[in-house]
Structure 1
Amino acid sequence: MGHGLRVSPPPARTHYRLRMAAAELIRIVSRSSPMALAQVERVRTELAARHPGITTEVVPVTTSGDRWMGDLSELGGKGAFTKEVDAVLLAGDADLAVHCMKDIPADRPLPAGTVFAAHLARDDIRDALIHPGGLTLDELPEGTRIGTSSVRRTAQLAITHPHLRCVPMRGNANRRMEKMEQGEADALILAVSGMQRINEADRISDILPLDTMCPPIGAGVLGLQCREDDTATIEAVTPLNDPDTWRETTAERMLLHVLQGHCNSPIAGYAKAERDGRLSLRARVFSPDGKTVLDAHEWAGPLDPATLGTSVAVALLRQGARDVIDSIPH
């Protein structure tokens, strides 16, 4: 590859027994938003079920990405949501970091000395419409203002619903809903999994099919990051790994890595592990206005997940994905 992306082998499907030297306390660092803290609670619950003797505590961090309400590219892209968390982990002030995999940049390697020890079972990968009047996406009248700063969502709405108008809006899901209530937008598009995590799923007025709104790479996946020399913590969290989610995430992130997508790249895609072991990957690259759409879909067959991700990325590059991605300022 030449870009330094390390693909770890899938964690072994064995039952670990903590060594005598294993820590009794695991400090979990995370973003401080309500959704991020809800994600940490899921991890704490799953750890407690596996290891009743382990105590966990939360180390909340407000990242530059959380504070900044402008264009993420001005902060260096998606890394704005992770670099402060990484710093706390690497400094030894926490033992475990919980990340939404969709926020982890794939155009650069993980911070040296860290590794993802587990990926939790995947949540819903679809997007949802939040409309106070309960309308579906197809029922929205012309000129309806959709609050979103996602180039992925904006490009796809331009294709399927060009009569709608996207207005820039950032912030966590709770803050975006407050802004909508204050009149800054008429509706929102947010992740189904995020709404479920903050117990606001009853506000969803329409769940969008994947053909209408293809999800971001890593949608619905929580990754557990550790220092690679912290064997005690790695052994504690590895049993939480879901093998199918690991395969799907590996394929998706290799796709994004080969494409060298940045935070302003309208790249979407998802892998799907079937019960019979087959793995598929669909990916799309858009121009921001939705006028250019590149599409690729392959089944792994005997290919490993990383090779599948590479193969689909190459198919998109053959269609001109490099020119589309490089033409977008970032």
Structure 2
Amino acid sequence: TILPDSIVFHTILAREDARDAFISDKATSIEDLAQGSSIGTASLRRKSQLLSYRPDLTVLPIRGNVDTRLQKIKEGIIDATLLAYAGLKRLGKDREIKQLIDTKVILPAVGQGALAATCRGDDAYANTVLALLSEPTTTAAIVAERAMLAVLDGSCHTPIGGLAQPDGQGHLELRGLVALPDGAKTAEVTMTAPITKAEDLGKSVGENLLIKAGPDILNFLEVGKPLFVRPHPEAE
């Protein structure tokens, strides 16, 4: 989330569908899974929201590339899994999808579905080229989501979801969520602001989530914070 001041962030092209996809050989949707079925995912964001929605399911940690995870379904090691639709589509694996999950059920990860590039701030040529490829609405949405994440000081090890969407009338709606991994407690905030105030919107949602989260979630977020070792400003 944190970039050096000398690095400029650009989004590239329009955002792909940000939703998570449900994959299974035993059911056509999360709702159709039998009680006690197993879903494989190492994502605490997915785990927390899954268990909040279907506490009867068993979430098993799995890792590996997309093919490895799909193979675990074929072998019957797990009954289902969740993966980002955008990644599956870009890999030509979208035929495996049984259901695109409504964001009211599972909020995607910050930036999910978007492609981005960074370059040095003093590289005029690179900034000019990347600016031509950037899509303004996607950029505003990702700026808002990343600003929210920065306030929460989150990482891939914390159950945080966020999605900013334009309303077509010059405004962004940002939904943010923090939760405990077991889904027992969740906090969600939705706010709207002019698209020109994307960063301020993200900060406001993050700050309101911290207020709404309560001590249990806040304590978990504190434990899950990544450790950054920053160089001294005078270091060579």
- Please indicate, yes or no, whether the TM-score normalized by the shorter chain is above 0.5: yes
User: 1:209-248 maps to which residues of 2 (within 5 A)?
Assistant: 209-248=102-141
Identity %: 35
Measure, in 1, the Cα distance between the counterparts of 2:193 and 2:4. 29
Measure, in 2, the Cα distance between the counterparts of 1:303 and 1:317. 24
Which residue pairs with 2:157 in the alignment?
264
Q: For 1:124-179, what per-residue CA distance to the aligned partner results, in whole angstroms no more than 9, with x for missing partners?
A: 01111101245211111122111100001100111111111111111222221123
TM-score by length of 1: 0.64
Measure, in 1, the Cα distance between the counterparts of 2:113 and 2:92. 15
Query: 64, 84, 90: which one pairs with 1:191?
Result: 84
CA contact (8 A) 1:259 1:322 kept: no
2:153 aligned partner, one-letter code: Q
Which residue pairs with 2:229 in the alignment?
none
> Per the alignment, do residues 247 and 329 of structure 1 end up closer, same or farther by CA in structure 2, a change over 3 Å counting?
closer
1:123 aligned partner, one-letter code: E
Which residue pairs with 1:26 in the alignment?
none
| Higher-Rg member (1/2) | 1
Q: Structure 2 regions of 5+ residues with no counterpart?
A: 227-236
CA contact (8 A) 2:170 2:195 kept: no
SS at match of 2:31: helix
With CA pairs under 8 Å and 6+ residues apart, which has the higher RCO, 1 or 2?
Answer: 2
Measure, in 2, the Cα distance between the counterparts of 1:306 and 1:314. 12
2:197 aligned partner, one-letter code: D
Q: CA deviation at 1:112?
A: 5.8
Q: Structure 1 regions of 5+ residues with no counterpart?
A: 1-105
CA contact (8 A) 1:124 1:220 kept: yes
Query: 286, 297, 318: which one pairs with 2:211?
Result: 318
> Per the alignment, do residues 294 and 324 of structure 1 end up closer, same or farther by CA in structure 2, a change over 3 Å counting?
farther
> Per the alignment, do residues 279 and 114 of structure 1 end up closer, same or farther by CA in structure 2, a change over 3 Å counting?
same
Alpha-carbon RMSD: 1.9
Match status 1:150 vs 2:46: no
User: 1:89-168 maps to which residues of 2 (within 5 A)?
Assistant: 106=1, 109-111=2-4, 113-168=6-61
TM-score by length of 2: 0.87
Q: CA deviation at 1:114?
A: 2.7
Which residue pairs with 1:17 in the alignment?
none
> Per the alignment, do residues 161 and 174 of structure 1 end up closer, same or farther by CA in structure 2, a change over 3 Å counting?
same
Measure, in 1, the Cα distance between the counterparts of 2:194 and 2:10. 26
Match status 1:200 vs 2:97: no
SS at match of 1:290: coil
Aligned length: 223
2:176 aligned partner, one-letter code: A
Which residue pairs with 1:299 in the alignment?
192
Runs of 4+ in 1 over 4 A off after TM superposition: 327-330
Which residue pairs with 1:174 in the alignment?
67
Which residue pairs with 1:15 in the alignment?
none
Q: For 1:1-22, what per-residue CA distance to the aligned partner results, in whole angstroms no more than 9, with x for missing partners?
A: xxxxxxxxxxxxxxxxxxxxxx
